[in-house]
Every structure is written in C-alpha cells, then in structure tokens.
Amino acid sequence: MVYKDGTRNISSSLVNVAVFGIALCIAVMIVSVAILTGFKKEIRNKVIGFGSHIQIVNYDANSSYETKPISYNQEFLPELKATPGIRHVQEFATKAGIIKTGKDIQGVVLKGVGPDFDWSFFKKNLVEGKTFKVVNSVKTNEVLISKYISKLLKLKLGDDFAMYFVQDPPRVRKFKICGIYETSVEEMDKIFVLADIGHVRKLNDWTDDQVSGFEINVGDFDKIDEMAMRVNDIVGYSFTEQGTSLRVKSIKDIYPQIFDWLNLQDMNVLIILVLMLAVSAFNMISGLLILILDRTNMIGILKALGSSNKSVRQIFIFESGFLIFKGLFWGNLIGIGLCVFEQYTGIFKLDAASYYIDHVPVNISVWYLAALNFGTIVITILMLIIPSYIVSKFSPAETIRYS
C-alpha cells in the first residue's frame, strides 16, 4: 500500500520487521541446537573411542587400572556378537605404569589391545605415524602415544622409551613410538598409551587367554541403556575361574562426570529456545495487531456484508500464518546455511584445552529441524488466537465512517 505522496505505508515496514524477527529467532534456534547436539556428539564419540559403549569386566574390578583378569573363552561371546544392535566386541587389558625420559616423568596407563581391536577412532585422530598390528604369535614393541605425552616428555615419532611398572618385583619395558594421536580430551590424552595386549599379560603373569574384559560398541548411542540391559541378560550370572561374577557397565557409568556435564548443556539451549519462541510469538502478535489496525475499513465492510467475527478473525490468522511461513523460510535458509558453512570450513575456532575440540561442531538433523519449525508454527499461531479477538470490538458503522 502506498500513500499519495509516494511514501511506503509504515505498517508494511513494521510487518516486515515482525517477519525478520521470526526469521532471526528460528535461525538462532537452529544454530543453537545444531551446536549443542554437535558438541555433545563430538565429545561423546571421543570418550567412547577410549572405552567403547559397554564393558564387561570382573565384578571385583576396582576403579583403578590394575584389574583382575577374566577368561577370553566365554560361552556367551557367540550370542553377544550375533545380537542385533551390537556392532563390535573386542578384548582389552590395562596396566598402570610410569614413563621416564631423562629428567621428565609421567604416570600413564598402558592399554593392551588384541588382533580384534577397532582402530577407526585412533586412525581418525592420528596426527603422525601409523597404528601397529597385533598378532597372537609375536608381541610387538610398537605403541601409540598422545601428542600431549609426546610434548610433555619431549618424545617424537620413532623414539624409544622405557616404562616402569611398580609391582613385586618391579619391572621395566622398552617401547618404540610408531604413531601419535590427538583427541584434545586432556583427561584421556595424558594417560593412555596403546600397546600389544601380550605385554600386559606378561607383566601380570596372566595366561594367553586372560584379559581385563571386553569392550562392546553398539550401533546407536541413544539405545545404550537398553543395550546394556540386553548385554547384562546375555552375560547373566557368568562366573570367572576364581568364582567371582562378571559386571556389565556402560560408558556413562565409567565416566559419569563427563556425561553429567554434557547433560547440563541442555538447560542452556532450552533457555535459548524458550526466549526465541517468546520473541517470535510476540513479534507476530505485534504484526497481527498492525494488520488489523491497518485494515479497519476492510473489517467494517466485511461485517457490514454479514461476515461473522469468527470468519474475519480467520482471515487475519491465515494472513499471519503466511507471514510466519515466510519468516520460517528465511530463518531456515540462514540457520542451515550457517551450519553447513561451519561444517565444511570449521572457520569458527575454540580453545581445545577448555572445550575438548578446536572448532565449533555442528550436527544437522532433519528431525530436530522439523520439530523446531513445527513447534514454532503451533506455538505462534496459538498465541495469535487471543489477540485476534480484537476484531469483535470493531463496529461496522464506526470503522466505515472514520476510515
């Protein structure tokens, strides 16, 4: 609508501001949820990379890395590996030790891995060198250490170092660095050294079929609790040769502090979503009132022709709905565009020491995009119903006379 002097109707500008507000709100919500879910997914995958989704260990195993062994030859293994939802099962063993190089010293955990170890996580986070191969016939002295340990102890690829084990009698082993990894999760990087499981067996005087336990990777993290219960049912009341039973625990039980911290992040995003939905709704309420006030003459004519208040209200709600969809279109375009740009460029950086990752991670999911858009539409339109009742206050005679 244009005035006679050619200037644009101010009401049209204000309506456009309301549409822009909706677009901005949905864009902020999309980016916020994408960053939260991406951040949680990245940190979760890194923690799982060190300990898998589920572990089966000796029930007497304490919280230290000096574990009591169990036999690798378990009757439940075939059924476990064939269970739907379980992606991989592998053996492992751990042993606490000390690396000493010249004047530097660092306490670490030697994690022994077998021929069935899934290297995909460490290959993804490898910054130098390569992984080592484990065979049952001969032990390899090659190990994988973190970039944190290599910098701390001034070690580089190809170097040899000695690791000391405090036991009776004390023992020492010499290893060679074949690869260096970096996950930026300092709590993990500063302690784990990966080696042939045969070394842990030899140091602990275990037999060739003894391990600390089994690590299980599942296909869907969201079903980890359900899968842990299923694994527990399969393992049942299995006992070790020493008469102790086995225990099944998920990664949430092993590192509860990390997963509790990740769950706390949900509250921050929930606050953002509530605020953005409120702003979006009030923007459209303002836009609806402007539309109504700008079309008082039309309201009067429609009422004079016999239109009911309900039908007139529906006209304005439908028009507001069109403006909502317009705002959602541009908001989705901006929000998804920003997420895709960051996903492929990683241009927005983070302090890895504080956030466990060096860039802002994003996770774009069709399901949460649909939920955000549907929720915004429903909540905004519901909040427009009450303000639309202002139409019933208009008198046909008065509106036509003064329009």
Q: pLDDT, tens digit, for every residue of 76-96?
A: 899 999 999 999 999 999 999
**For the chain, give me the number of helices (H) and strands (E)?**
14, 12
Number of domains in the chain: 2
Pick from 146, 91, 92, 99: nearest CA to 122: 146
Same domain, 30 and 86: no
If asked whether residues 75 and 223 sit together in one domain, one would say yes
Q: Do residues 33 and 79 both lie within one domain?
A: no
When pLDDT is averaged across residues 286-301 and rounded to a whole number, the result is 70
pLDDT one-digit tens code per residue, 334-359:
999 999 999 999 888 888 777 788 88
C-beta separation of 104 from 90 below 8 A:
no
- pLDDT score for 163: 94
Q: Which among 170, 153, 42, 177 has a CA at the least distance from the CA of 99?
A: 153
State which residues form the domain around 391: 10-45+258-402
Q: Give CA–CA dist 246/239, Å, rounded.
A: 6
Q: Are residues 191 and 159 in the same domain?
A: yes
Q: Which pLDDT tens digit goes with each residue over 185-227? A: 888 999 999 999 999 999 999 999 999 999 999 999 989 999 9
| Alpha carbon 217 to its chain's center | 17
Residue predicted with more confidence, 130 or 317:
130
* pLDDT for 2 beyond 60: no
User: Same structural domain for residues 64 and 39?
Assistant: no
Same domain, 379 and 267: yes
Residues 165, 221, single domain; the answer is: yes
84 and 231 both lie in a single domain:
yes
Strand, coil or helix: 53: coil
Strand partners, 192: 109
Cα 63 to chain centroid, rounded: 26
CB-based contact 88:115 (threshold 8 Å): no
User: What's the confidence (pLDDT) of residue 84?
Assistant: 94
Q: Which of 220, 244, 268 is the last residue of a domain?
A: 244
Q: Are residues 161 and 215 in the same domain?
A: yes
Is residue 314 domain-shared with residue 367, that is, in the same domain? yes
Buried b (16+ CB within 10 A) or exposed e, 221-238: beebeebbebbbebbeee
Reply yes or no on whether the pLDDT at 240 is more than 70: no
Q: What is the DSSP letter of 65?
A: S
The pLDDT assigned to 8 comes to: 45
Which one is predicted more confidently, 64 or 317? 317
* 334, 25 contact by CB (below 8 A): no
C-beta of residue 6 within 8 angstroms of C-beta of residue 278: no
Last residue within a domain, chosen from 200, 218, 244: 244
Q: Which of the listed residues 191, 218, 244 is the one where a domain comes to its end?
A: 244
Q: Would residue 334 count as lying in a domain?
A: yes
Query: If you average pLDDT over residues 112-129, what whole number do you get?
Result: 94
Residue 52: inside a domain, yes or no? no
Residue, of 289 and 278, whose pLDDT is higher: 278
* Residues whose CB falls within 8 Å of the CB of residue 340, separated by 6 or more in sequence, listed in order: 364
